[in-house]
Amino acid sequence: MRDSITQLSSYQALASHFEETKSHNMRDMFAQDTNRFSTFSVQFDGLLLDYSKNRINSVTIEKLVALFDECDVHACREKMFSGEKINSTEDRAVQHTALRNLENQNSALTKKQVAILLLIEAFVEKVDRSNITDIVNIGIGGSHLGPLFVCDALQEISKPNLSVHFVANVDAEEINRVLNKLNPENTLFIVTSKSFTTQETLTNAKTARNWLLKSENLKNEDHFVAVTANVENARKFGIAEENIFPMWDEIGGRYSLWSAVGLSIVLSVGMGAFKNLLKGAHAMDEHFINAPTDKNIPVLMALLEVWNQIFLEAQAHVILPYDVRLKLLPAYLQQLVMESNGKSVDREGNVLNVPSSPIVFGDVGTNAQHSFFQLLHQGTHQLSCDFIGVAKPGHDNHVQHDMLLANMIGQTQALMQGQTLEAIGPAKYAEHKVFPGNRVSNTIFLTELNPYSIGLLIAMYEHKTFVHGALLNINSFDQMGVELGKRTANNLLDKIKNNGLVTDEDSSTIGLIDFYKQNK
């Protein structure tokens, strides 16, 4: 049993340090130290983290490292990589990292992964030789967001004769919009659900099956594959056993794109690209294991999250990719971060007395500049930001790429520097043109965007999320809140279907159900 983070001596030292430095301004920090960028930046394998635009100094980092040590995150990390059951509430190991270490002959799960990748490769080759032109991935949560993000990011290298579509929402409008564009004869469905009982996924799968079987001479087993741990349920649905790819208990949904859940990725860009995705993620795993704490990118990002959230009261974290290929990254990270660390108790069930997950949102730059950047610059809320850029564009229009990255770098500088009343001088509405500055951000630069660097980027955020959870002593690998919502919805569905009056719920629920029944 571990003490609350606020009871640790390293935390109390940080709190005292914050009181001593809270009036410091980054404008002055940069003016006084021309080497600030080199001091507070790290490069690894074509990825740069510039964290110099945080309200920190070298003493801050020393004290954050001491917190990391006192929280014994080293041991937590070792337990995860060695396969101990660190997901205590579900009595499971957490082994997504084993899926990308394909050379590890000592891991039973890695051996299974290698075998499954061979089966997937053979299946994909079979699809490539067929008349299939459209893939529809049916899943939700981790079975949807990860593959969707990667497929969209890698569009430029996708197979020209194959389109991949994604359906998640139980709203029939979504699947109807997809099916209306397709020919059943040329369509393959991937149904991804660990339990093969997920309401949204199974409902959409049945809609897809009904659509398919309206066509004469088409068989369910020729147009459906499954990724699931429940082989029996997939068989009952009508999916041939050779078209059922396994999921494992040790792999959580939001960490599953590295597994057979990535089938849609392999179909879209090929096994070579998928293995490069795994290699990039494994390289970040090795960095996370071996790099010193003060040079360890995911660790530094998690420690800064604690500093910014608890002491600077930055309760929201903004993800700002300045590359359209990364436009779905904010949505992917919303699940990764908030489903992992959006908890209110620690591992022992004690109520947390510090914030847990930040509120994560974001959008692609430069669009976001014309949306919510007004709040970032002049609003009363404290937020932290990650700006993400790619040095080499995926096109040859360097004029626009220069403009894009000038905007990205300029925004980080403007947030840091702000604009004082003195700098504005005498002007109408001068007070309205003041920007307080001192707003914190990280900048993450990739040399180029390819499967390998996307693997690096995703694994970096996975490990950051893990470290943040370990610092707060919470279980980052369950999702009790998701389960409660499912149970409540299922209970109300029966009452909505029933024509009788609902009398045994609260007045708001009764009123909403009654309004819906009267107007549907």
CA-to-CA distance for 469 and 464, rounded, in angstroms?
9
Q: Are 64 and 475 in contact (CB under 8 A)?
A: no
Strand, coil or helix: what is 32?
helix
Q: How far apart are the first and last CA of the chain?
A: 53
* Amino acid in the structure at residue 488: T
* DSSP notation for 194-250: SSS--HHHHHHHHHHHHHHHTSTT--HHHHEEEEES-HHHHHHHT--GGGEEE--TT
> Phi/psi of residue 205, each to 5°?
-65, -40
- Give the C-alpha separation, 451 to 150, whole Å: 8
Q: Which residues contact 222 (CB under 8 A, 6 or more apart)?
A: none
Task: Give the separation between CA 142 and CA 180, rounded to whole angstroms.
Answer: 25
What is the spatial distance between Cα 15 and Cα 270, in angstroms, rounded to a whole number?
Answer: 50
The Cα–Cα gap between 21 and 6 comes to 19
Check the CA dihedral 80-84-86-87 and report its sign. Answer: positive
Q: Which residues contact 369 (CB under 8 A, 6 or more apart)?
A: 407, 411
Q: What are 434's two structure tokens?
A: 């003041």
Neighbours of 436 (CB within 10 A): 14
3-class DSSP state for residue 445?
A: strand
The closest alpha carbon to 230, from 196, 276, 265, belongs to 196
Catalytically annotated residues: 339, 370, 486
Residue 242: both structure tokens together: 């050779």
Q: What is the CA radius of gyration of the chain?
A: 25
Round to whole Å and give the CA distance between 75 and 77: 5
Cβ pair 136, 208 in contact under 8 A = yes
Pairing of strands 47-50, 41-44: antiparallel
Contacts of 443 (CB under 8 A, 6+ apart): 48, 49, 50, 53, 386, 387, 388, 389, 408, 409, 412
